[in-house]
Structure 1
Amino acid sequence: MRQARDIIREECEVFHLSEKQCREIMSRLHNDLVKGLGKDSHANSIVKCWITYIQDLPNGKERGKFLALDLGGTNFRVLIINLGENHFDMQSKIYAIPNHIMTGTGIALFDHIAECLANFMKEHFVYEERLALGFTFSFPLKQLGLTKGILQRWTKGFSCSGVVGEDVVQGLKDAIARRGDVQIDICAILNDTTGTLMSCAWKNHNCKIGLIVGTGSNACYVEKTENCELFDGEPGKPELLINTEWGAFGDDGTLDFVRTEFDRDVDVNSINPGKQIQEKMISGMYMGELVRLALVKYTRMGLLFGGRGSDLLYERGNFYTKYVSEIESDKPGDYTSCMEVLEELGLSHATEADMAGVRHVCECVSRRAAHLVSAGIATLLNKMAEPRVTVGIDGSVYRFHPHFHTLMCEKIAQLVRPGIQFDLMLSEDGSGRGAALVAAVACREREVQA
C-alpha cells in the first residue's frame, strides 16, 4: 500500500511550476506589460503599468528635513527624515486604523490621518515648521501628476466611501486644511513599490526595479520614456518610473493554466473575487490560507492527522502566513516550530510524519510563490535589457521567509537572458524613507528649475 507521504507529494505536484510553464507566464506577462504601456491598448489592459511621473532617482545630494506618510494596510506610519551627506536620521511612529474607519467614510479616514500627522509634528517639535511630505499610498492608483493620484479601487480590507475615483492627495490636503493648525506641503504621492525603489536607489544607483512581496505583491521599474505612450509630462528625460500593478495579472484568465482548486477557493471566498489573481497566488494575505485549504483536503483524504482535523484548522483564515515561515525555519528533521503551530491549531495529536507532510505543503506553496515572483522579475529584467540591475525588495514574505531570497536568486538566474546580471537587495524601511526621498528629489528638481 502506498504511504500517505507519497500521496501527499503527488497531490502537491499541482503547486509545481515547470521551467516551460514559467517561460509561458513570462511571455504572457510581457504581452500584458506592452498592452498597459500602449496608448490604444491601455484601456483594455489587465496589467495597467501606471505612469508615476517620477523621472529622477536620488543621487545622494538630497538634503534637509522631510515628512513621510506610509499608508498601506491596517496601520500607517508617519516619519520625519533628516537627510545629510550620505547619511540620514529617521524617526517614526505607527498609528492604528480602527476597523470602523477602514470601512467608514473617506473624510473620516483622512481626518484621522491628519490628526495623527499633527500630533506627530508636536511630538517632534516641528509643529511650527512648514515641511514637505511624501505620501506612500499602497493601493491601485492612477497618477495624473506627481501630486495627483486617483484611487482605482480599495484592496486589503479597506472600503472607505467617497474615495474611489477621487484624488487622494486632495482628500488629505482638505483634511489638513480643515484642521488649520499645521503647514504641510504634499510634494508627491507614490506607492510602496516606488518607495522601495527610491529608498534602495539612494544607496545603490543600479537599483531600477522595486518589488513588494508582503500583504500584497507589486513591482515598479524604470522604463524608457519613449515606450510610455501615455506619458504627457515634460519631454526630454530619457527614463520614467512605471508602477505595473502586476497583482492583477491573470484577472482575464491568463494564469488559469497554473491555478489550482485551492487558488479558486481562495479567490471565490475573498473580498474581491476575480481580482488580483496573481497576488492571491503569491502574497502574505493568502499564502497561509492556500496551505490551510490543502491541509484540510489531505486530512479529509485520511493522509494527515489520522483523518482527524480540528475546528480551528477547518475555519478560514486560521493558518497564518507567518506559520509558513516559522515551519520552514526548522532544520531538517526538527519539527519544533511545526509542533508549536499545530498545537495552537488544536492538532496536538500530530505525528512526526504529519509534521513532515505539513512542512512539505508549506514548501510547495511558498516555492511556487517565489517562482511566480521570479518569473515576473525576469520578465522585467529581459524587457529592460540593461547589463546590471539591482532589485530593491520589501515586504513581510521576502523579509521573513527563510528561503524566499535563495529561491528567487536561483529561479531568476535560470529565466533571465544570458549577459544580464542582477542582485536582490532588501530595502531597509523602504516605503517610508522612499516617500521622503521622492519629496526630497521633487524639491531638488524644483530648485534646479527655479
Structure 2
Amino acid sequence: MGMAINQLPRIREECEVFHLSEKQCREIMSRLHNDLVKGLGKDSHANSIVKCWITYIQDLPNGKERGKFLALDLGGTNFRVLIINLGENHFDMQSKIYAIPNHIMTGTGIALFDHIAECLANFMKEHFVYEERLALGFTFSFPLKQLGLTKGILQRWTKGFSCSGVVGEDVVQGLKDAIARRGDVQIDICAILNDTTGTLMSCAWKNHNCKIGLIVGTGSNACYVEKTENCELFDGEPGKPELLINTEWGAFGDDGTLDFVRTEFDRDVDVNSINPGKQIQEKMISGMYMGELVRLALVKYTRMGLLFGGRGSDLLYERGNFYTKYVSEIESDKPGDYTSCMEVLEELGLSHATEADMAGVRHVCECVSRRAAHLVSAGIATLLNKMAEPRVTVGIDGSVYRFHPHFHTLMCEKIAQLVRPGIQFDLMLSEDGSGRGAALVAAVACREREVQA
C-alpha cells in the first residue's frame, strides 16, 4: 500500500463552515438582543420568536428556607421524583429516576400524567410520606406560557415528545387531575418552572450573585433576572424590582435570523427532526443534535474520499448513530492519543480508520462543539450586556456543559471577549438544579405565602 495522501488540510478547509468569526458573533448578539426586547414588549410579544415568558418568580432563595418538599423533574426521556429536606445551611435529598416509555412520550397527555402520578405515589410510599400532605415544585422543561406561579400553558412539545391533548392546556391542571383520579395522595403543587429557572434558583441558594440560569443539555435555554419595569406583560403584584424571565431562546432563528451562519448539516438535522423549522438555535447547540451534526459531516467527507479511504459503514450512514457522548469522549483524548476515537470508530464498524482519519474525525468534533460553545457564549454575553450589572454568576446545568472536556473553557474565553468592559462573570456548575431548584421554588413560594398570611 502506497503512502496515503494526508487529507487533514482538506478536512480543515471543509470545516471552516462551522467557524463563527467575532464579527458574526456580534451580529448574532445584536439580533438576539432585538428579539429579547420584542419578547418583553407588550405590543411586539405576540409576533416575537424569542418569547421571554414571565415566570412569576420575584424572590430568589435567601438560604432561610426550611422544611420537607417534593420535586418533580420532567424534561427528557426520563423524569425524577425527589424529596428534599431543607435545614440550616444543608439539605438532604433522595431521588429516583423513572423511565418514560416511548409509547407514553408519543401517546396521550392523560396517559403521561397518570404515569407520573403513579410514580409519585410509589415514591411517597417508599419514603414513608404517603400519608403526609407535601408541597411540590414541578420542573417542566418545555416551552410554557406562564399565567402565574402555578399555571403554565404548554406552547409546544420539543425534544422528541408529542403527547396529544396537552399543547394549549395548563400542565399543572393535567397533573392535578391525574393525582385526583388516583385519590390516594395529597400533594400541593406550589410552583411550576422550567429547568433553567431551577438551575438559577439552585445556584442562587448558595451564591447570591447568580442571576442567569443556563441549560446546555438535550436542549438549550436560558433565564435571567430582568427589571420588572422592562417586563411590559407582567400583571402580578407590583412593588418588587426584579422578575425572572424564561427566554426560551432555543427558538431563536426560527424566522431565519440565523440562516447566515447555518450549514447544510444544520438544515439536514432540522428537516429530519420531529419539529422541522422550530428550535433552530437549539439544533445548532444541544446534545440532542450535536452528534448527528458530526455524523452528517463525516458522511459527506467520507463520500468525498477525505475520510476512511472513501469507505464508510452501514452504521455511519444511519441517522442517530453518532451519539453526542462520542464527541465528549473523542475530545477527551490527549493530543496525539486516539484511544477513545478508535473505540468509537470500531463501534461504528470503521476499524479500517487510519491515524490521519482519527485526526480528521477529532477535528470535526472540535469544530461542531466549539461552534456550540461560541453560540451559547454569544447568548450569555447578550444577557450580561443587557443586564449591565458589575458581576453576575451564571448557573449552568446540562450534559453537554457537564461532560464535554473543553466547553467551560471555550465559554469563559468567548464570553470575556464579547461582554462590555467592566462586566465580570463567573460560570458555576449547578449541582442538580432542576431537582433542587424545583423544591426551592416551592419553598420560597411557601415562605412568601406565610409572609402574606
Give the TM-score taking structure 1 as reference length: 0.99
CA distance in 1, matches of 2:106, 2:272: 19
CA distance in 1, matches of 2:246, 2:7: 48
Cα deviations by residue, 1:262-310 (Å, 9 ceiling, x for unpaired): 0011111111111000000000000000000000000000000000000
Deviates more, 1:98-107 or 1:137-146: 98-107
Is 1:37 paired with 2:48? Answer: no
Specify the alignment match of 1:3 in structure 2. Answer: 7
Question: Is residue 41–residue 232 contact of structure 2 (8 Å, CA) maintained in 1?
Answer: yes
SS at match of 1:163: coil
CA distance in 1, matches of 2:268, 2:113: 34
CA distance in 1, matches of 2:355, 2:7: 14
- CA distance 1:2–1:352, change in 2 (3 Å): closer
Q: How does 1:341-360 map to 2 (within 5 A)?
A: 341-360=344-363
CA distance in 1, matches of 2:340, 2:102: 31
Q: Which runs of 4+ in 1 moved over 2 A?
A: 1-4
Give the Å deviation of 1:177.
Answer: 0.7
Q: How does 1:421-436 map to 2 (within 5 A)?
A: 421-436=424-439
SS at match of 1:273: coil
| Unaligned runs of at least 5 residues, structure 2 | none
CA distance in 1, matches of 2:110, 2:311: 49
Give the Å deviation of 1:181.
Answer: 0.7
Picking from 184, 187, 199, the partner of 1:184 is 187
Cα deviations by residue, 1:376-423 (Å, 9 ceiling, x for unpaired): 000000000000000000000000000000000000000000000000
SS at match of 2:28: helix
Question: Is residue 7–residue 307 contact of structure 2 (8 Å, CA) maintained in 1?
Answer: no
Cα deviations by residue, 1:164-192 (Å, 9 ceiling, x for unpaired): 00000000001101111111000000000
Give the Å deviation of 1:2.
Answer: 7.6
CA distance in 2, matches of 1:157, 1:421: 37
CA distance in 1, matches of 2:91, 2:335: 41
SS at match of 1:218: strand
CA distance in 1, matches of 2:283, 2:160: 14
Question: Is residue 202–residue 430 contact of structure 2 (8 Å, CA) maintained in 1?
Answer: yes
Cα deviations by residue, 1:95-153 (Å, 9 ceiling, x for unpaired): 01111111111111111100100000000000111000000000010000000000001
Q: Count residues with an aligned counterpart.
A: 449
Cα deviations by residue, 1:283-340 (Å, 9 ceiling, x for unpaired): 0000000000000000000000000000000001000000000000000000000000
Picking from 67, 70, 81, the partner of 1:67 is 70
SS at match of 1:208: strand
CA distance in 1, matches of 2:371, 2:24: 11
CA distance in 2, matches of 1:140, 1:2: 47
Give the Å deviation of 1:3.
Answer: 4.0
SS at match of 1:442: helix
SS at match of 1:39: coil
Specify the alignment match of 2:168 in structure 1. Answer: 165
Question: Is residue 143–residue 155 contact of structure 2 (8 Å, CA) maintained in 1?
Answer: yes
Cα deviations by residue, 1:415-435 (Å, 9 ceiling, x for unpaired): 000000000000000100000
Cα deviations by residue, 1:346-384 (Å, 9 ceiling, x for unpaired): 000000000000000000000000000000000000000
CA distance in 2, matches of 1:274, 1:174: 33
Give the Å deviation of 1:157.
Answer: 1.1
Is 1:49 paired with 2:30? Answer: no
CA distance in 2, matches of 1:433, 1:89: 10
Specify the alignment match of 1:404 in structure 2. Answer: 407
- CA distance 1:298–1:145, change in 2 (3 Å): same
CA distance in 2, matches of 1:315, 1:180: 47
Specify the alignment match of 1:377 in structure 2. Answer: 380
Is 1:293 paired with 2:283? Answer: no
CA distance in 2, matches of 1:300, 1:74: 34
SS at match of 1:77: strand
CA distance in 1, matches of 2:181, 2:316: 48
SS at match of 2:318: coil
Specify the alignment match of 1:86 in structure 2. Answer: 89
SS at match of 1:210: strand
CA distance in 2, matches of 1:329, 1:245: 31
SS at match of 1:314: coil
CA distance in 2, matches of 1:14, 1:162: 41
Give the Å deviation of 1:156.
Answer: 1.1
CA distance in 1, matches of 2:367, 2:148: 42
CA distance in 2, matches of 1:264, 1:210: 28
Question: Is residue 392–residue 424 contact of structure 2 (8 Å, CA) maintained in 1?
Answer: yes
Give the Å deviation of 1:194.
Answer: 0.2
CA distance in 2, matches of 1:74, 1:308: 34
Q: How does 1:236-315 map to 2 (within 5 A)?
A: 236-315=239-318
CA distance in 2, matches of 1:261, 1:329: 27
Question: Is residue 6–residue 356 contact of structure 2 (8 Å, CA) maintained in 1?
Answer: no
Give the TM-score taking structure 2 as reference length: 0.99
SS at match of 1:136: strand
